Amino acid sequence: MDNRKRRRELSEDLRTRIVEKYQQSQGYKSISRDLDVPLSTVRSIIKKFATHGTVANLPGCGRKTKIEERLQRRIVRMVDKQPQTSSKEIQAVLQAQGTSVSARTICRYLNEMERYGKRPRRTPLLTQRHKKARLQFAKMYLSKPKSFWENILWTDETKIELFGKAHHSTVYRKRNEAYKEKNTVPTVKYGGGSKMFWGCFAASGTGCPDCVQGIMKSEDYQRILGRNVGPSVKKLGLRPRSWVFQQDNDPKHTSKSTQKWMATKRWRVLKWPAMSPDLNPIEHLWRDLKIAVGKRRPSNMRDLDKTCVNAILFCEKYFIFWKNFRGANTFGHDCNYRHLHHT
C-alpha cells in the first residue's frame, strides 16, 4: 500500500510569498525552510514566475475533459428533448460511441449547464380542449370587480381521515431513539376511517357545514344543498337576488336530476371548466380545517364528527387570507396563465 502523502496544490497566496522572498534576495533553501515548502517546489514556482510573470494556474492546466465539445452539445440536446433521460442512459450512449464516462461526471456536467435533476411535478392529463377552456375561463373573469367575487357562495366537499397526514413533521430526539413511541406518528391502512364533509363560505365568513353519510349520490347532494344553502346565504349576508352559486364538475353536481332540481331554485351558477385548475379559494379553508383537526387528534370516528362539525374549526385565521384576497383588484390579479395549462 502506498503510504506517501498525497500531493496538494499550494495556495496562490503562499506562492506569492515565495516570489516576494526571492525578490528580497533570499535563497531557495532559506525560503524552503521558512515556509516549509519542498526545495523543488520553490524552484519551480520561481521559474514559472520568471517565464510567465504570474504564479496563478495557467489556462489549460489540469486534466482534459473526457466529454469533448461535440458530445457536450449532444448531451444537452438529449435532455432538452427528453428531460426524463437518466444519466445512466446517457452513459450507455457515450459508451457505444467509445467514450467511457461515469454517470456522476455526466450529472456534474449537466449541472454546469444549469440542468438539474428534480422530481417531476404531477399534473392532470389535459387535452387541448381542456387547456383552451381553462385559459378562456381565467380570461373571462379576469376583469370582474371585487364586488362580484364577494357575492359568490363557494362550495365543495372534502374527505378528512381519522389518522391523516400529520401537520407537524418534526420531532426533537436523541440518536437511536427514532422508534420510541413518543417519537413516532401512528399510521393505519386507509387512514383509519374517514368522513366526507360539505362546506361553503363567502367573503363575509363560513356557511353551514354538513356531514355526508356514506357514499354521496345526486339525491343526497340535493338534500344537503336544500338544508344548507339558504341558511348560509342569509348568515353571510349575500345579496338575495344576485348572489352566485359555485360548484365544481363532479358527476353528482352536473347530473340531470341535480340540474333539474337547481333549475327549480333559480340559482345563478358560476360556470366552471372541465378539469378545472382548482382556483376555488375554499381549498385553503380545507387545508386549515385539516390542520386544526390534526392538532385536536380525534381518537375515534365519533370524536372526528364532533371535531369537524364544530364551527370553530372553520378557522378564524383563514379570513386574514381572505382580506388579502379581497384587496386584489381582480380575481386573476396574480394569476400565472402558464400554470393553467398544467395544474
**How far is the C-alpha of 148 from the C-alpha of 136, rounded, in Å?**
18
Amino acid 325 reads F
Three cell numbers, residue 166: 400529520
Q: Which CATH class is domain 128-340?
A: alpha beta
Instruction: Delimit the domains of the chain by residue range.
Output: 12-52, 69-112, 128-340
Query: What integer pLDDT is reported at residue 337 of this predicted model?
Result: 44
**How far is the C-alpha of 172 from the C-alpha of 195, rounded, in Å?**
32
- pTM of the predicted structure, to 2 decimals: 0.62
| Number of neighbours of residue 191 by Cβ within 10 angstroms | 14
Query: What integer pLDDT is reported at residue 227 of this predicted model?
Result: 95
Name the phi and psi angles at 247, rounded to 5: -150, 160
Question: Residue 335: pLDDT above 50?
Answer: no
Question: Residue 91: pLDDT above 70?
Answer: yes
For 149-199, the pLDDT digits (tens) are: 889 999 999 888 776 655 556 788 888 888 888 888 777 665 567 778 898
CA angle 101, 102, 108 (to 5 degrees): 100
- Least confident segment among 103-117, 169-183, 285-299: 285-299
Among residues of the chain, what percentage have pLDDT more than 90? Answer: 27
Three cell numbers, residue 13: 497566496
Closest CA to 97 of 129, 77, 118, 70: 70
For 210-264, the pLDDT digits (tens) are: 888 888 999 999 999 999 999 999 998 998 889 999 999 899 999 999 999 999 9
Amino acid 213 reads Q
Query: What integer pLDDT is reported at residue 342 of this predicted model?
Result: 54
Amino acid 73 reads R
- Asked if residues 144 and 151 have their Cβ atoms less than 8 Å apart, the reply is no
- Compute the average pLDDT of residues 50-70: 78
